[in-house]
Structure 1
Amino acid sequence: MEAVLGHLRGAIERGDYAVGDKLPSEAELCRTLEVSRPVLREALRALQTMGLTASRTGKGTFVVAGAVEEPTFGDYAAGDLLEVRRHVEIPVAGYAARRRTTEDLAHLRHLLDRMERETDTTAWVAMDTLFHLTVAEAAQNPVFRRVIEELRDALARQSAFLDELAGRREQSNREHRTIVEALADGSAYDAEQAMAHHIDRVENTLSVIVRRMRADTGAEGGPRRA
């Protein structure tokens, strides 16, 4: 996937595909690059996250920028998403530690067990977002759940991006386990610290990826507000 991503990104940055151009169809790219459609689609998703392309339903994938800027996850820029996660998910973890039920803990532990056994990226990403939604539900405030539900698509895109380009799955599983242990202990402080550490690691990994993506053009920096 990284080889395909590098090829397509290079073509865009060289101007082989200019801003406004439509990329060849998936079938054509698969034939030209000699890769499977799942591999190609992962690379295309990464191009969109980098802000280089946009998919238009029924029309195809179009180039929207000639160089890597800030990653976006669905409707949200990486920096905006991280800022909101810090202001929402950290206090949510504290409330969840004080209000969670035995059923909430059982659900979270079962989910973690499944995540630790899962080898399929798509399935794991779906459970990753469900984990964060379940923590919000354990806070016993429907507004928190609604906020996380609104972010669910962006969280899934971010999770897939980090796993595909940085292999963060095992580390994320360990961080999730620490969060659940704090919830089980009923410690709001420990739960908030565990969630803060998890988001810190997401932010740091994303910053490394962004620096690596920008290295070819000599650009500096990471996600906004990072």
Structure 2
Amino acid sequence: MNLSDSQTGGPVPRRVSAMEAVLTHLRDAIERGDHAVGDKLPSEAELCRRLEVSRPVLREALRALQAMGLTVSRTGKGTFVVAATVQDPTFGDYTAGDLLEVRRHVELPVAGYAAVRRTSEDLDRLTRLLDRMERETDTTAWVAMDTVFHIAVAEASQNPVFRRVIEEIRDALARQSAFLNELGGRREQSDREHRAILEALADGSEHDAVDAMAHHLDRVETTLASILRPERADTPTKGRPES
């Protein structure tokens, strides 16, 4: 499922996917108290029947609810509500807030060092990788390359400690990237931000590289905030989500 056909916040509203419609329905029900903290959600089969969606669509929505910290899945028992409102979503072992804080302290200087230390081989690798990302149509494959891009920038800094730090948060970065692409349509915008980072590295401009990375992380934060605190429409959406 490709949800990145248009940007969040653009003049034309981005098409809402079936998964997003299911997620909004379930999230609203939890926030209204229809499913209180401690309650078990209906079974997958029952939810699929009620919402008229496929099981893969439902499972994507349930994973997003869990990432938001609203539910927890217990093997063999089902999905339970653990919070009434979204606080700070978790990606793997780290919360979004902790992840972004560390990324700002690590990836901004990494970009600056990479601009003045990168080799022609580093630039070739990053260029080939970004070219592939811009052509990729599969979101899962793109997410994998997204994390590789940030690792490759760290490698270009010529400091192995920076690479080790990015490697440590690699799984969390991938989970966050998938989350933002699924719910925020971030991919095309992210490609442009990555291209700006690469151009700054190629120019050897430490200042521009830091600015480009800062802009990239700012957009990640903005998109995440728009997902967690969406503007609610004045009138409810008619009809059921499509499968």
Q: 1:199 to 1:62 in 2, by over 3 A?
A: same
**Offset at residue 81 of structure 1 (A):** 1.4
Q: How many Å separate the matches in 2 of 1:215 and 1:159?
A: 26
Q: 1:38 to 1:109 in 2, by over 3 A?
A: farther
Q: How many Å separate the matches in 1 of 2:112 and 2:76?
A: 44
Q: Does 1:54 align with 2:72?
A: yes
**Partner deviation per Cα, 1:27-64 (whole Å, 9 max, x = no partner):** 44334422223322221222122210123456543321
Indicate the SS of the match to 2:80: strand
Whether contact under 8 Å (1:52, 1:66) holds in the other structure is: yes
Q: How many Å separate the matches in 2 of 1:15 and 1:28?
A: 19
**Partner deviation per Cα, 1:142-179 (whole Å, 9 max, x = no partner):** 21111111111221122122212221111100000111
Q: Does 1:146 align with 2:164?
A: yes
Please tell me the residue identity of whatever aligns with 1:85. Answer: R
What is the aligned partner in structure 2 of residue 105 from structure 1? 123
Indicate the SS of the match to 1:212: coil
Q: How many Å separate the matches in 2 of 1:73 and 1:213?
A: 23
**Partner deviation per Cα, 1:61-93 (whole Å, 9 max, x = no partner):** 332112222222222222221111111000001
Please tell me the residue identity of whatever aligns with 2:123. Answer: L
Indicate the SS of the match to 1:111: helix
Q: Does 1:132 align with 2:150?
A: yes
TM-score by length of 1: 0.85
> Considering only aligned residues, what root-mean-square deviation do their CA atoms show, in Å?
2.2
Q: How many Å separate the matches in 1 of 2:122 and 2:74?
A: 39
Candidates 156, 162, 179, aligned match of 2:197: 179
- Higher RCO, 1 or 2 (CA under 8 Å, sep at least 6)? 2
List alignment gaps of at least 5 residues for structure 2.
Answer: 1-18, 235-243
Q: Does 1:94 align with 2:112?
A: yes
Indicate the SS of the match to 1:54: strand
TM-score by length of 2: 0.80
Q: How many Å separate the matches in 2 of 1:199 and 1:34?
A: 37
Q: How many Å separate the matches in 2 of 1:208 and 1:41?
A: 22
Q: How many Å separate the matches in 2 of 1:28 and 1:144?
A: 47
Identity of aligned residues (%): 82
Q: How many Å separate the matches in 2 of 1:186 and 1:91?
A: 14
Q: How many Å separate the matches in 2 of 1:55 and 1:103?
A: 45
Q: Does 1:195 align with 2:216?
A: no
Indicate the SS of the match to 2:230: helix
| Residue correspondence of structure 1 range 14-53 to structure 2 within 5 A | 14-53=32-71
Corresponding pairs, count: 216
Q: How many Å separate the matches in 1 of 2:46 and 2:164?
A: 41
Moved more, 28-37 or 144-153: 28-37
Q: 1:111 to 1:69 in 2, by over 3 A?
A: same
Q: How many Å separate the matches in 1 of 2:76 and 2:164?
A: 30
Q: How many Å separate the matches in 2 of 1:135 and 1:54?
A: 35
